């Protein structure tokens, strides 16, 4: 169980939990980032924050401070290829 902020660029993980009471997490859920979803930390911005994450065939930027509640499991068996569009 790792907070998203500790993922290295290029590292994959599976979303374990988020905090549905937070506005950021609500926005991400609307985009389809739900528990069990595979995601990848694509890169950090040149100044270290925000970060770009990829899930469900899209890349989204979010601030680490706003995404504290995202917990991922990096040990989980994740598809190494990019998450496909197909459900």
Partner 1 sequence: MSSKQITVALVGNPNTGKSTLFNALTGLRQKVGNYPGVTVARKSGRCDCGDGLKVELVDLPGLYSLAAASPDEQVVTDVLLGSLEGSQQPDAIVVVLDVTNLLRNLFLASQLAELNLPLALVLNQADIAHEQGLKIDTQLLSQRLGGVPVVLTSAWKGEGIASVRRAIAEVLNKKTKMTKLIWPSQVESALGTIVQAIQADTGQAPSSADAQRILFSSNAHTSDRLGWSQPQRELIVRQARDQVRSAGYNPMAAEPLIHYAHLRKILEGVIAGGTGKQGNAAALDRVLLHRVIGPILFTGIMLGLFASVFWLAKFPMQWIQSGVDFLKAIIAPALVSTPMLQSLVTDGIIAGVGAFLVFLPQILILFLFIGILEDSGYMARAAFIMDRLFSWCGLNGKSFVPLLSGFACAIPGLLSTRTIEDPKARLATAFAVPFMSCSARFPVYALMCAAFIGPLYGPGWESVVMVGMHCVGLLFAVPTAFVLTRFVLKVKPQPFVLELPRYQMPKPSDVLWRMWQNAAEFVSKAGTVIFAMTIVIWALCYFPRDAQMADRIKAAEPTLSEHEIQSRTQAAMIEQSWMGRFGKAVQPVFDPCGFDWKITVGVLASFPAREVIVSTLGVTYSIGKGAEADSQNLRTAMQEAKWMDGPRKSTPIFSLAAVLALMVFFALCSQCGPTIATLAQETGGWKWAAISFFYMTILAWVMAVVVYQSVIRLI
Q: For residues 45 and 76, which CB has a smaller minimum distance to partner 1 in the complex?
A: 45
d(CA 49, CA 45): 5
> Which of 1, 3, 58, 75: binder of partner 1 (CB under 8 A)?
58
**30 is an interface residue for partner 1 by CB under 8 A:** yes
Taking Cα atoms as reference points, which of 38, 46, 53 lies closest to residue 8? Answer: 53
Asked if 61 contacts 51 with a C-beta cutoff of 8 angstroms, the reply is yes
Q: Which residues bind partner 1 (CB under 8 A)?
A: 20-24, 26-32, 34, 42-43, 45-50, 52, 56-63, 65-66, 81-87
């Amino acid at each position: 169980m790792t907070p998203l902020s500790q993922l290295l660029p290029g590292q994959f993980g599976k979303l374990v939990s988020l905090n549905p009471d937070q506005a950021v997490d609500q926005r991400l859920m609307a985009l389809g980032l739900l528990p069990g979803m595979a995601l990848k930390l694509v890169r950090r911005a040149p100044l270290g924050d925000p970060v770009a994450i990829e899930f469900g065939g899209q890349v989204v930027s979010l601030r680490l401070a706003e995404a504290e509640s995202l917990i991922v499991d990096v040990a989980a068996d994740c598809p190494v290829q990019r998450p496909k569009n197909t459900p």
